[in-house]
Amino acid sequence: MPDEVVPNGAAPPPNEPTKTKGMPNKMSLKLSHLPSKKDIKVVYPRTPSSIDPNNPPWPAFRGYHTYSFAYATMGHRLPTILGKAIDDVIETLNQESEEDRVKDLVECMERMDKLKVDLESHAKLRPVIDDGEADVALWNKEIAKFFQGKDFMNAPWLFAEAYKYRRLRECFSVSKHWRHYDVFFRQKCDTFSRSGDAVFELSTRFIEPFKHKEGMSDTEKLEAERLMFMELTQVCLWGNSTDLSLLINMTEEQIKALQSTGGENLAATEKNILGNDMARLWEVVNGLRTNTGGRVDFVLDNAGFELYCDCVYADFLIQSGLAKQVRFHGKRYPWFVSDVTKKDWNWLLNSMVYGHLFPKVSDAEMESLRRLGLRWKEYEKEGKWVYEQHPFWCTGYTYWDLHSEAPDLFLHLSKSDLVIFKGDLNHRKLTYDCAAPPSTEFDIAIGPMASAAGAPRVCSMRTIKSDVVVGLGPEGDALADKLEKEEPGWKISGKYAVVLLSEGRPGEKVRFA
């Protein structure tokens, strides 16, 4: 049976034991009991027991859907990204002098070439080589259980795309000298260095710790905090539109336009937040101070400018006393081009304090960036900010499987007061990356991340850069149809966004089967 095909809503074929002459209690299977092959239709959403990584609750996006973004990504964008990554390795190779290291790097490049051929020829997905990474077993279990015989184009797009980044990792992780090499590092640093205008706009504005003007009443103070929270939520949200995997050909001017952070601009951009739970989010965050002591988790997306915006937001949460601790979750190795690794995290903080990335700016501007960086490093020392990197974040599983495949991580997140998932890929993983109707409620779309006992409050802050769109409210399907007609490409432009909140089931005892 094809992946998207299960019997329709008609009564299931009787299959309870029946008595046959001379053969008591044997199953009798009559083909006439089965619905005709052409009547077999999938009913969506699938029932929970028939959902698995190859059969999401609603139809999966797959690379072989010609004219889809999945097709464009698997067929064109990923080979281009890989080609650029090979160029990066050539640059490194040309600067290397030790023979042993040169030979080792050439072998990494040969593996990358092979991966590119596999990708372009739609090769079957083979198991990941045991390279000592913590996620090998998770990858190979998922391939064996759900993707035997599948290839780059007919496996669900999310899995196939993630698998490509895992295979890229393998090109280096089996080497002697280049285990930790990041083919995207140059690009990530470069984009931050080219984001000067927005970087200094934020650093000069937020360098002084947040405090209230003298003589303000409690109500005024609360309102000032609320306004600041709303503004910084948008700064954090739109920071996600600068994603390197999509900005391959953008000019500096275009990047600047995407990053303008001013108040007026934010008022205008709020109307592009198509599913907007920001008011509820404020109620939750405002409650943290008095309730449980405020631990907020960020499941990070991109390095450089987006990470910088996340940190500005997290800084405000700490200074205002809304949160006592912020835990940041990054990737263990280079992922989807621009995602944050520990090296990117360290690079950002150290470049802010010691770097010379912006030779043309004034001393005062440089000083604001340096002081901001020092404050953030201090938070780390004091344990107010904690950086973590669980292996599950770099697997092909969606977050519907977080509870079952990474129970330790689920338990850990269940202790948080609010888990903010940044960006498009995290949103795809939360929602199983499938064609759910845009009116689908966020709680339904994220399955066990909302419904499992002990599920934390979850917020997805994402600029829309791929097909899955949910949480647009009862009129969402009509709105999506209208946008589709008027602005084809609205789902990948990064112009629109969602900020969606699920209340989860915090405080309940987490249970595992």
Rule CB under 5 A: choose which of 192, 308, 316, 336 binds Mg ion: 336
Counting contacts by CB under 6 A, is residue 454 touching ligand F6P? no
What token pair was written down for 134?
A: 């913590």
Shortest spacing between CB 370 and ligand F6P, in angstroms: 28
The footprint of ligand F6P on this chain (CB under 6 A) covers a number of residues equal to: 17
Residue 172 to residue 511: CA distance in whole angstroms: 38
Counting contacts by CB under 6 A, is residue 191 touching ligand F6P? no
Q: Which does 161 bind (CB under 5 to 8 A by kind): Mg ion, ligand F6P, none?
A: ligand F6P
Question: Which region, judged by CB under 5 A, interacts with Mg ion, from 21-29, 330-338, 385-393, 406-414?
Answer: 330-338
Residue 142 to residue 448: CA distance in whole angstroms: 19
Nearer to ligand F6P, 136 or 246 (CB): 246
Residue 302 to residue 407: CA distance in whole angstroms: 25
Question: Which region, judged by CB under 5 A, interacts with Mg ion, from 57-65, 110-118, 189-197, 335-343?
Answer: 335-343
What count of other Cβ atoms lies within 10 Å of the Cβ of residue 66?
Answer: 9
Which residue in 373, 331, 85 sits closest to 202, CA to CA?
373
Provide the residue type at 333 as one letter.
Y
Counting contacts by CB under 5 A, is residue 157 touching Mg ion? no
Q: Which does 315 bind (CB under 5 to 8 A by kind): ligand F6P, Mg ion, none?
A: none
Shortest spacing between CB 427 and ligand F6P, in angstroms: 8
Calculated CA dihedral for residues 232, 438, 335, 173, nearest 10 degrees: 150
Counting contacts by CB under 5 A, is residue 301 touching Mg ion? yes
Nearer to ligand F6P, 3 or 161 (CB): 161
The site map against ligand F6P for 385-404 (x = CB under 6 A) is --------------------
Question: Which region, judged by CB under 5 A, interacts with Mg ion, from 214-222, 334-342, 378-386, 453-461?
Answer: 334-342
Which residue in 116, 78, 108, 113 sits closest to 92, CA to CA?
108
Residue 146 to residue 148: CA distance in whole angstroms: 6
Distant-in-sequence, close-in-space partners of 472: CB < 8 Å, separation ≥ 6: 274, 275, 438, 439, 479, 480, 498
- Contact (CB, 8 A) for 352 and 371: no
**β-bridge partners, 421:** 299, 460
Which residue in 339, 266, 306 sits closest to 461, CA to CA?
306
The site map against ligand F6P for 70-109 (x = CB under 6 A) is ---x---x--------------------------------
Residue 105 to residue 118: CA distance in whole angstroms: 20
Residue 477 to residue 493: CA distance in whole angstroms: 19
Counting contacts by CB under 5 A, is residue 339 touching Mg ion? yes
Nearer to Mg ion, 225 or 433 (CB): 433
Counting contacts by CB under 6 A, is residue 301 touching ligand F6P? yes
What count of other Cβ atoms lies within 10 Å of the Cβ of residue 273?
Answer: 21
- Strands (DSSP E) contained in 277-334 are 295-299, 325-329
Which residue in 341, 344, 351 sits closest to 373, CA to CA?
351
Q: Which does 240 bind (CB under 5 to 8 A by kind): Mg ion, ligand F6P, none?
A: ligand F6P
Nearer to ligand F6P, 188 or 295 (CB): 188
Distant-in-sequence, close-in-space partners of 490: CB < 8 Å, separation ≥ 6: 464, 483, 484, 496
What is the residue whose two structure tokens read 């190779």? 93
Counting contacts by CB under 6 A, is residue 466 touching ligand F6P? yes
Nearer to ligand F6P, 195 or 245 (CB): 245
Counting contacts by CB under 6 A, is residue 169 touching ligand F6P? no
Counting contacts by CB under 6 A, is residue 242 touching ligand F6P? no
The footprint of Mg ion on this chain (CB under 5 A) covers a number of residues equal to: 5
Rule CB under 6 A: choose which of 178, 192, 305, 336 binds ligand F6P: 336
Shortest spacing between CB 471 and ligand F6P, in angstroms: 16
Counting contacts by CB under 6 A, is residue 344 touching ligand F6P? no
Q: Which positions lie near ligand F6P, rule CB under 6 A?
A: 73, 77, 161, 240, 243, 245-246, 301-302, 336, 338, 423-425, 428, 465-466
